[in-house]
Amino acid sequence: MNIRDQIFRMQKYHSLLLEVKSEMADDTSSKDKVENWLRHYHEWSSNARRLVGDDIIEIAIMGHVLAHPDFMFDRKGNNIRKLLDRGRSQITTEREKKGRCRIDMLIGLECPFNRFPSIRGDLQGDHLWPYSLGGPSNSRNDRGVNRILLCPNCNRSKSSGITMYDWKVPPWLKGRLRTISEIISQK
């Protein structure tokens, strides 16, 4: 995928995020915000069953929008994020710390620091889809869910960036949105 397509998808994400956020303006009640989110979720869910062609990208983008932390509130306005993620850990084992930086998964190029591990330093666990944008965090039991191992330099460079994200529907997304839906549907 070329950089123009990647930037277009990132802009599409931000446009959809703004559109959904504007529907849930500050003066909208928590109950109405939940109903609006649920409407988007049910539409997304029915479309996600038919993952074909270019629609996959549109579905992935909307799913990531719905996972945004700004929408993780119940009908009373209580934040439900802590019910989804018990901690914000990216546990890295001693063996993993000495491995290869996997920035190639995002940009298609090998990290130049991999040739100099003593200069590079230990690898760090990072979120493929940023935690700050609603990506799940990991525990010891689910280290591979939303995780990439990066050297300190690549980790700082990536930050919460999504320009190089592959825009597929990751395995965690459907379950996460379903769980959000179940929690906020409770009266």
How do residues 67-83 score in pLDDT, each as one tens digit? 999 999 999 999 999 88
DSSP 187: -
Helix axis angle, 55-66 to 3-23, nearest 10°: 50
Q: Chain centroid to CA 71: how far? A: 13
Collapsing DSSP to helix, strand or coil, 166 comes out as coil
Dihedral pair phi/psi, residue 16, rounded to 5°:
-65, -40
- Distance, in Å, from the CA atom of 36 to the CA atom of 20, rounded to the nearest integer, reads 9
Quick one: CA dihedral 110, 115, 120, 122, positive or negative?
A: positive
- 3-state SS, residue 46: helix
Is 119 within 8 Å of 155 (Cβ atoms)? Answer: no
**pLDDT reported for residue 65:** 98
Say how far apart CA 187 and CA 168 lie, in whole Å: 33
Residue 42 neighbours by CB distance under 10 Å: 11
- Tell me which DSSP letter residue 8 carries: H
Question: Which pLDDT belongs to residue 91?
Answer: 74
What are the pLDDT digits (tens) for 131-168? Answer: 999 998 876 556 668 889 999 999 999 988 898 888 88
User: Beta strands 147-150 and 124-127: pairing type?
Assistant: antiparallel
What is the average per-residue pLDDT within 173-187? 91
Average pLDDT value over all residues in the chain: 89
Please report, as a single letter, which amino acid is at residue 106.
L
